[in-house]
Amino acid sequence: MENLLVKYVSKSLSLSVEEINAIEQEIVIRDFRKGTILLREGEVSTRCYFNLKGLVRQYYLVDGEEKTTAFFAEEQAVNSFESASQRIPSKHYLACVEDCTLVVGDLSTETDFLERFPRLEILVRMMVDQDFGKQQEMLASYIITSPEERYLKLLESPYNLIQRVPQYQLAGYLGITPESLSRIRKRILVK
Amino acid sequence: MENLLVKYVSKSLSLSVEEINAIEQEIVIRDFRKGTILLREGEVSTRCYFNLKGLVRQYYLVDGEEKTTAFFAEEQAVNSFESASQRIPSKHYLACVEDCTLVVGDLSTETDFLERFPRLEILVRMMVDQDFGKQQEMLASYIITSPEERYLKLLESPYNLIQRVPQYQLAGYLGITPESLSRIRKRILVK
C-alpha cells in the first residue's frame, strides 16, 4: 500500500531509498474515528500530528461551551506548540471532525529522527516557518477584516470547510454567532 | 561594552568562549531611530530581527488607514514568516515605535551560522516553537475573549504596552475603535 506521507514529501523532495525506508518503517501513521479526542484541556501535549486525510478541530471549553478556534485539514500540521514547547497543560482540545489519517509524531524521538535525515529536517523547519507565516496572517485577518470578508475567504479556500463543518462551529471560528453567519450567507446569496 | 544578545542567551545557556566570540563578532546588532520602517508592504522580507530594546509595530495599510496587528517588545523575535519563508511580498509594515536596539539576522547566512553552533540552533528552534505557541493562543484569544478581557490581559503583561503605545494603535490592536477603548478604560476605572 502506498505510504501517504512518502507521497506527500515526494512532492517537495526526490527521496532516497534510505529516506523512504526510514519514513515507512519509523514514522507512525494512524487512523482515527470521527469524534476522537487527540488532546484534552489540561493534558501536556507530547505529540505532533500531520493531517494526511480528514479534518481536525481545535476548540476551547469556555463556561461549558465549545469555542472553535482552528481547523486543520489535509497536508496541515496539527500542533499545540504552547503546551508542547513549554511542557504546560494545554488550554484547548483537539478532536477529529471526520475519520482521519494522521502522522503521529512523538516529540521525544522526533529530534533524533530528523538529525539522521538532514534534508527532512530542513523540510520540517520550512513547513513550520510557513505555518507560522499563515498563523501570523490569520491573526492579522481577525483584526483587519470583517467576518463577512473572512467567510468569503473561506469560500475560496481549497479545504471546503463550509461544506465539511457544522454551522455553529464555523460561526465560532469566524468569531460570530450562528445567526450572524446565517445573515451573511443570505446577503451573499442575494448578491 | 556588554553585548545584550550574549546577556540574553546566557540566561538559557552557559555559553562557551567560542560561542560568545561568534555571537559578538558575527551577529549584527543595530540601533534604529523611532519611526524607522524595517519592512514595507510589497517588499520581500530577507531579515529576521530580535528585539533587545524598544518596541516594533506591525501594521497593514487598508484603504489608506494603518491597522495595527502586532507589537514586538523586548526579547521577542520580529519576523514576517509568510514573506520570508515563501519569498513573497509582505502584506504588512514593520516600524519602530520607539528607538530600538535589534539583532539583525540575515536569512541567507543564518542557517550556516546555526549549523556551526548546534546548541544555538536548538535554542533558536525552541524560541520559534514558543513564539508559535504564543501566536496560536493569541489567535484563539481573538475568537474566545472580548476586547475588554484582552485589555485586562494587556494590563497584566510585563511589556507595559498601554503606556508605550498611542491609544489609536492600541485600539486597533484590540480590534476595536478608539471610542470603544475609551469606554472600556472608564468602565475599568469605575470598578
What is the ipTM score, two decimals? 0.83
CB < 8 Å to B137, chain A: 82, 91
Taking an 8 Å cut-off on Cβ atoms, the answer to whether A70 and B134 are in contact is no
| The C-alpha cell that represents B170 in the structure block | 492600541
CATH number of A4-144: 2.60.120.10
- Residue A75 in this model has a pLDDT that exceeds 70: yes
The answer, for B173 touching chain A at a CB cutoff of 8 Å, is: yes
Q: Cα separation of B73 and A191, whole Å?
A: 44
By the 8 A CB rule, do B44 and B90 touch?
A: yes
For residue A10, count CB atoms less than 10 angstroms from its CB and return exposed for 0-12, middle for 13-18, buried for 19 or more: middle
| Residue B58 C-alpha, separation from nearest chain A C-alpha, in angstroms | 9
- B58 bridge partner residues: B70, B94
Q: What residues in B contact A126, CB-CB < 8 Å? A: 85
**Contact call for A58 and B139, based on CB within 8 A:** no
A132–B81 C-beta distance less than 8 A: yes
| pLDDT number for residue A1 | 63
Residues B143-160 have a mean pLDDT of: 90
Q: Report pTM.
A: 0.88
- A153 CB within 8 Å of a chain B CB: no
Interchain proximity A85–B136, CB inside 8 Å: no
Tell me the chain A residues in contact with residue B138 when contact means C-beta distances shorter than 8 Å.
Answer: 139
Contacts of A127 (CB under 8 A, 6+ apart): A77
pLDDT(A17) > 80 = yes
At residue A94 the predicted structure's pLDDT band, cuts being 50, 70 and 90, is: very high
Q: Coil, strand, or helix at residue A151?
A: helix
- Inter-chain residue contact B138 with A140, CB threshold 8 Å: no
What is the biggest distance separating any 2 CA atoms in chain B, rounded to whole angstroms? 57
Helix spans in B27-145 (H): 81-86, 107-116, 118-144
Q: With the C-alpha atoms ordered B175, B177, B178, B180, is the resulting torsion angle positive or negative?
A: negative
pLDDT mean over A145-165: 90
Given pLDDT bands bounded at 50, 70 and 90, which one contains residue B1?
A: low
For residue A30, the cross-strand partners are A102
Domain covering B4-115, topology = Jelly Rolls (2.60.120)
CB burial of residue A191 (10 Å; 0-12, 13-18, 19+):
exposed
Domain boundaries, chain A: 4-144, 145-191
Task: Please report the pLDDT score of residue A88 as a whole number.
Answer: 94
Nearest-CA residue of chain A relative to B93? A140
